[in-house]
Amino acid sequence: MDFRDRHIVVTGGTGALGSAVVGALLEAGASCHVPYLTEAKTQNFLHRSHPHVHLVATGTLADEAAVARLFDTVPGLWASIHLVGGFAMSPVSETDKAALMQQIETNLVTCFLSCRAAVRAMARGKAGGRIVNVASRPALEWRAGAGMAAYTASKAAVAALTTALAEEVAKDGILVNAVAPSIMDTPANRKAMPKTDHDAWPKVEEVARTILFLASPDNKVTRGTIATVYGRT
């Protein structure tokens, strides 16, 4: 996959999956525009000194003005990959409105606003483009969301947004898809679940390869897909 001379926004690019995605894009020749919430989020970012990485201080991506400013800095946007999100375990009986809204803001609102800004930027360029969102396994298998219903609902909304938007912008040459990972093999997840079979979890590098294809010019026909990346779990 050749991303030379292509500009890509990667929200959540400083995280575990984000670092894998940015690394793979850089190897393929892309220029990556990576927003961040605070300077501390960039300290351990492996690619922060790469000449084709453009770190952009945005604050929260639930702020539509901040999202608009981010996308205004990107010349000739080709693809936008939306990895920002948050997770919370809590039964419905113990989830108040503030906790529910936090999941909706972190997972759905950030994705929606980034999609909107990306579509507008791609429309200005008149060259089409690619959008890739991140749902989750519970977003597709609702019973798996027991004990985390707020998270599940917010990610299910991301999946629905992806499919609806894909239909809306296909005529403009913009292909919109999402991946739905199961629990990924990250240091944080290993620490939280030390007794689980980590070898069965999908690796972030493997999930990144699926994202790269969906975001690439090699993807000419796939749209409206929620690609399941479950590994052997």
Could you give the residue numbers annotated as active site?
151
Residue 112 tokens, joined: 């929606």
Closest C-alpha to 74, from 60, 58, 90: 58
Backbone torsions φ then ψ of 224, nearest 5 degrees: 70, 15
Pairing of strands 174-181, 226-229: parallel
Contact between residue 154 and residue 138 where contact means Cβ atoms under 8 Å apart: no
Contact between residue 132 and residue 214 where contact means Cβ atoms under 8 Å apart: yes
Contact between residue 64 and residue 41 where contact means Cβ atoms under 8 Å apart: no
